[in-house]
Structure 1
């Protein structure tokens, strides 16, 4: 008797059924109603393809062995037959290794049944290559004359040995797989066709419009007699030869790069705050804007595009509508920092890097595509829809997972990482080579890796963001336990990085040449003060700023007085404040505000008549067309902003004032986009993390639904729903009265009852229910299968029979 997959699943203990759900979590999205629905879903094309995508190369080769050893009549095979084909001691494969791979297939129910009658789910042939192990179809399915040739093994060997060298080369190439070739004309192919070693096909996978040639399976097996029927086997992953790095050196290099990335993100955000980047009408930021931002950050265009994408994914950058801001190529939408950027700036360095790293690891975009050409030969721009790739997070996690598996300090090359990924998941990695390389490059630029190896805090990031953190969720399902091994106010990733970064400093060193050295990352308050009173010159472990006349004037414009600046440098500097700096501050403050501008067209006034006379005679100010209204007042038709900028360019130090004569402080106004949440990859088939309690609950729900489904398929023989008639030939009134008595007793006993009733359309049906209460002319009963409470009008109930 044939055993179906549903029967196999139904016979499993709860632990084994839960293990299947853990291995194939897509089966519970949504939770199947019963075992039959679970079996149907487990054999669907999508679910089988997802299960196969996570299998390694050797397991897929064992799957080919199962396909090749199937009996043509009933489609079954046996464990012994599979092991005989897959276990090749000459290639280092013993029976135990092959058995372990077969067990992985059976645990996922890709293969099911007893050991002497194994079966494959039907969808395997649909989602896999039509040529298992690169072998063609049996000769009997291709050509009768070829079938007669392969039926005589001695004759087949003589024919193969008699093949000319060019023909033998064609045979060897097709035997290595795939077994189909183009219909190329030539003496070699003609000889093989004449001797029935090749068969002409018109329905093969190679071409549907022209004939192709196919190598029969039996001929391919003969040519593979030295390597085995499955070809070269790879029971173990390739062993890379990683360059050994000191873990401390790896962490130091990564931490240094992390600090650089934070600095570059700040520079990009400030550049966008000063001059937002317009969004093209076709989407994204234009090439010219990307070059401007790259120059502002001191980076090349590729890393600049990466940081813009990461900053946008982290919610630090956003878009805002600015009517009238669009130019010839841009619309009214601009990219600028969000309000979340202001919060991010005051966080500790480690927490700021963690926010960027988490956003990068989960963003469904591949920044390496920026600058390439799309299918219409147009350049792909940053933040455009063409950069979106839903598979990018999985590619990053896979590439970093390889670095995590090879051990601390190991630094395999990109080619070695791709080789390992091609073995671990060949179906999933096919066509993703560029995504893997981009992931490794981006990880190095962001400081997740250092010197080509995964950092210690990178390992914590990878583990902390894993989608299936089952052990942690089981031990702490609500996530309320305190972090162990790090500061109480920092998450695990930031705590792991925090010890590698230099401590923030609250002081500086003022030198005689008016440069200011900050010996470490400045505290947020110190960084805010330096942004106003000094201009940055270089950054790194120690930042260098320079105090200039323009920077002092900028501080005075923001509301500082000369005494405030002297107190600031005296309080912050660990070295004596040089006399040159004091003179610079006093001299700039003395001249600051000597001229005042205001709206009129605009006016220029000063108590120093000689200074106004100098401005009136200054040729550099002739474009303003100044004219004297009074000894202390000049006016111009230009607006105050133009007047102020022209005076400052000419070396003057004016300050603006309002209509009442009060000085207007000119602290720059920060423009911000609305706060936006971080981007996350969405997979419509993704299942939530399955903790052990959740798995047990799902198994219990499926079991209960299966029992209810089987019970629903068998109504008691003593009940007929049509009119409520039963075997005793009761009248309708008698049957209804008896039904009410049965229901009342069932309410007291909490027993299950078959209830026959007439629905709103006049149809009669029956359901297995558990009565809860009777009153007000209604029956309230619970359906154990759906776990829902239903209400039935008593006058519609025709019969009730207690379930045995």
Structure 2
């Protein structure tokens, strides 16, 4: 193809296969389904949903460039764009980065045309350009021509006269003369030199937006001076607007208050010993494993009930936080971490409860570094966000831990990008979280801010301008620190520290290995798991080795000098209570804990042998006496089901129990010298007598002692929750190659030269007939040229009609147009248009 491309489709046809593949890689939504030809690709690239997704992924400077193009003439020469970005004084950094920004917009098909005729696609111009209901992000208002569109010719001539311009013969030349004045730096400066100080103050208040202000029915003299010279133009009964050309003169030609051509620096940098960072991260990784293990132990017999709407109640979350000795927010994180790794789930029963899954049993048997890899693999890919637990959903209801509506699809991308920024620093180096958040906001300024297809405006509301009011203008809204992307990044940095990915704010060596996927695209779940295991291999030497002994002390405590081997930890957890945790765990032996071990079926001799085998110090005499004393009393009282009874060979002991006032609630009576009957259940009787200081044992109907070993509760096999994707996945090279080949083939078939075939003009009263491709192409061309068309249309009832329309927009299979036949704006489905023809003359 030769010459300047007239449409985006023509420009895309000139691209190489590599260029088309780059476009499809940057905007994967264009591939679903694969376009039939380049025309379909260009049409899809101009739809509102696709353009909005592409704009959301621009960095701040590229977005500022697109915003400048939205307020620039269409088409816009490169030099004009450079002047809008750098201003009259120029900016070397802007000049150096602007070619990159334009190239990025071109690569994503948001800008097309040569440098002397740059065109922003129509949908992007509508999104980023100014309107009365939606100000431009630049803070600029409409042009003089747009603002004065409804002004009478006489009023225009009055403005020209007040501004010192000669009269003209028609409104078009009057607007052109006023525009020429505002864009002439010398004449405009001379005009403003004669302005009252109050008038200049009003212009300063409207300068950076919003450009609209309010006036009364009788404006003050300084406002009347501005209105008489067109520096403020009426925009309704009580509103005025600052024309774009005048604002640009006052801004010294700059479209933006502060262009940001380079990203914020990651500073200040704090240097630490990398080995110290790795050790701190490994210590925290081990603590994370212990916390999840404690959670599984807490839910070993069954977790809390599932709410009818899903998730845990606030009371159960508080109870879990107390059991883990942490805050409710951190408890929600540990719960979601275990849930994302498939270690806990709901059991799906009628009285649905949470519990550990069969996978939790397998996880507990793995080495520590492999258990960490399972947790990290789930965390990296998870879209569930524990940070939103407790906040309100769209209906005002609080979001529950392990409940629905916690997925935030940008989470994996934000998580990896935040870690990648830390990885860009030298080993052992860290920066404040605010520096990371500032860089992320520069890279995706609109991510999480654009809602319902709208781009955030620079400010909300209008600036009062009447009567010389001293009310300050509404300031431009700064980049929000609490937008979704920032909250996700803050959560990532905190969670990475909790999981041992970072240590003291710096990325550890095994944390860097998590980012080594070998590709820039988002990794698949299998790739994530593989990188997690490679990182775990680096972590393994840093984790403490399990020990097989404790240090028994005379104060009835045992000190574990490190993590205990699993069988030893489980047995000691039954025999003693954990008193404190840390580098060394302290266990406390009490009569209740020893009785718990005896209830589990261990004898006094076995307990003494266990303590002697696993202690590096001799068994203290107080501990040996405690075990023997509790064992001597254990089982003297036997409790069975009558409803319940108490049996004891020592009738004096039974008499003592009967005489005790605390036994009144058990409603005991003597059946025989050695047997008491109770009107409570055996479990209540056991608890009651233990509360009184006795050591009863339950027995079966045959008189054998029942071993109190509770059954664990496990859910049926459950898979980990599937992450919610953030839009279409990135296409792989094979798909890109096939898609480009299919688009080229379809385009060749659509544009191949054919023998000329004479198509007779439709008879008077007959509907025009054209193919779907011809209809779409003619409609799109009419939108660009603002021309009217003759169409044939068949409505839903099958009634055919002929119409003359002026197309305004073609999108999503519909054309929005002004219908000259019905004198209104209407929307027509393209598949109901039988054909289209250009009018022979411009008679409409």
Number of the residue aligned with 2:421: 402
The 1:224–1:626 alpha-carbon spacing in structure 2 relative to 1, beyond 3 Å, is same
Is 1:160 paired with 2:192?
Answer: yes
Deviation at 1:87, TM superposition (A): 5.3
Task: Work out whether 1:505 is the aligned partner of 2:544.
Answer: no
Hey, what's the Cα distance between the residues in 2 that align with 1:164 and 1:344? 78
After the TM superposition, which of the residue ranges 129-138 and 99-108 deviates more from structure 2? 129-138
Given candidates 137, 155, 179, the residue that maps to 2:211 is: 179
State the distance in 1 between where 2:188 and 2:720 align. 65
The SS at the match of 1:499 is helix
Report whether the alignment pairs 1:625 with 2:691: no
Matched with 1:440 is 493
Per the TM alignment, residue 352 of structure 1 is displaced from its structure 2 partner at its CA by: 3.0
**Map 1:498-647 → 2, pairs under 5 A:** 498-647=540-689
In the alignment, the residues of structure 2 paired with residue 423 and residue 311 of structure 1 have an alpha-carbon distance, to the nearest angstrom, of 33
1:104 alignment partner in structure 2: 104
**Is contact 1:362–1:680 with CA below 8 Å preserved after alignment?**
no
Q: Distance in 2 between matches of 1:521 and 1:464?
A: 32
Partner SS for 1:126: helix
1:375 Cα offset (Å): 6.5
Offset of residue 81 of structure 1: 4.1
In structure 2, list runs of 5 or more residues that go unmatched. 131-135, 160-174, 450-482, 758-844
| 1:630-709 equivalences in 2 (<5 Å) | 630-683=672-725, 685-688=727-730, 690-707=731-748
Offset from partner CA, 1:210-251 (integer Å, 9 cap, x none): 7533211110111121x6344432211122422404133333
Structure 1 distance, partners of 2:560, 2:518, is 35
Q: Does 2:160 match 1:134? A: no
Q: How many residues align?
A: 684
Q: Secondary structure at the match of 1:359?
A: helix
**Structure with larger RCO (C-alpha < 8 A, sep 6+):** 2
2:317 is paired with a residue whose SS is: helix
Please name the residue that 1:266 is paired with. 293
Answering whether residue 235 of structure 2 is matched by residue 201 of structure 1, we say yes
Identify the match of residue 423 of structure 1 among 442, 448, 452: 442
- 1:30 to 1:522, Cα distance in 2 relative to 1, 3 A: farther
Paired with 2:723 and 2:377, the residues of 1 have a C-alpha distance of 12
**Hey, what's the Cα distance between the residues in 1 that align with 2:512 and 2:214?**
49
Query: d(CA) in 2 for partners of 1:716 and 1:628?
Result: 116
The answer to whether structure 1 residue 307 and structure 2 residue 322 are counterparts is: no
- Residues 381, 23 of structure 1: CA spacing in aligned structure 2 closer, same or farther, 3 A cutoff? closer
Q: 1:680 to 1:295 in 2, by over 3 A?
A: same
1:465-522: per-residue Cα shift (whole Å, max 9, x none)? 988257xx9xxx9979x979xxxxx812322332332122232222222212222222
Q: Tell me, what secondary structure is at the counterpart of 2:99? A: helix
Tell me whether 1:496 sits opposite 2:496 in the alignment: no
Q: Is the 8 A contact 1:149 1:155 kept in 2?
A: no
Corresponding residue of 2:470: none
Is it true that 1:455 corresponds to 2:455 in the alignment? no
Shift of 1:90: 4.1
Counterpart check, 1:119 vs 2:172: no
1:219 aligns with 2:246: yes
Residue 52 of structure 1 pairs with residue 32 of structure 2: no
Give the conservation status (yes or no) of the 8 Å contact 1:593–1:653.
Answer: yes
Structure 1 residue 84, shift from structure 2 partner: 4.9
Q: Distance in 2 between matches of 1:530 and 1:543?
A: 11
Partner of 1:790: none
Name the CA shift for 1:358/1:181 in 2 (closer, same or farther; >3 Å).
farther
> 2:771: which partner in 1?
none
SS in 1 for 2:555: coil
Q: Alpha carbon RMSD of aligned pairs, Å?
A: 3.4
The CA distance in 1 between the partners of 2:108 and 2:558, in whole Å, is: 65
SS in 1 for 2:579: strand
The question of whether the paired residues in 1 share the 8 Å contact of 2:94 and 2:259 is answered with no
SS at match of 1:403: helix
- The 1:546/1:215 distance shift into structure 2, 3 A limit, reads same
CA contact (8 A) 2:409 2:726 kept: no
1:319-334 equivalence runs, <5 A: 319-320=346-347, 332-334=351-353
Aligned 8 A contact 1:255 1:501 in 2: yes
User: Which residue of structure 2 aligns with residue 389 of structure 1?
Assistant: 408
- Give the distance between the partners of 2:380 and 2:530, measured in 1 at CA: 21
Residue pair 1:422, 1:429 contacting (<8 A) in 2 also? no
Partner of 1:19: 22
Using the TM superposition, give the Cα deviation of residue 69 of structure 1 relative to its aligned residue in structure 2, in angstroms. Answer: 4.2
> What is the deviation of 1:321?
5.3
Q: Does 1:76 align with 2:75?
A: yes
Moved more, 283-292 or 185-194: 185-194
Cα distance in 2 for partners of 1:375, 1:109 equals 35
Query: CA 1:610 to 1:366, structure 2 compared with 1: closer, same or farther past 3 Å?
Result: same
2:473 maps to none
Between the aligned partners of 2:431 and 2:726, the Cα distance in structure 1 is: 34
Cα deviations by residue, 1:547-583 (Å, 9 ceiling, x for unpaired): 2222222122222223332332233223333233333
Query: Could you tell me how far apart the structure 2 residues matched to 1:276 and 1:568 are?
Result: 31
Partner of 1:793: none
3-state SS of paired residue (1:93)? helix
Unmatched tracts of structure 1, length 5 or more = 203-209, 324-331, 485-489, 718-804
Change (3 A) 1:339 1:478: closer
TM-score (norm 2): 0.74
- TM-score, with normalisation over the residues of structure 1? 0.77
Is the contact between residue 517 and residue 527 of structure 2 (CA under 8 Å) also seen in structure 1? no
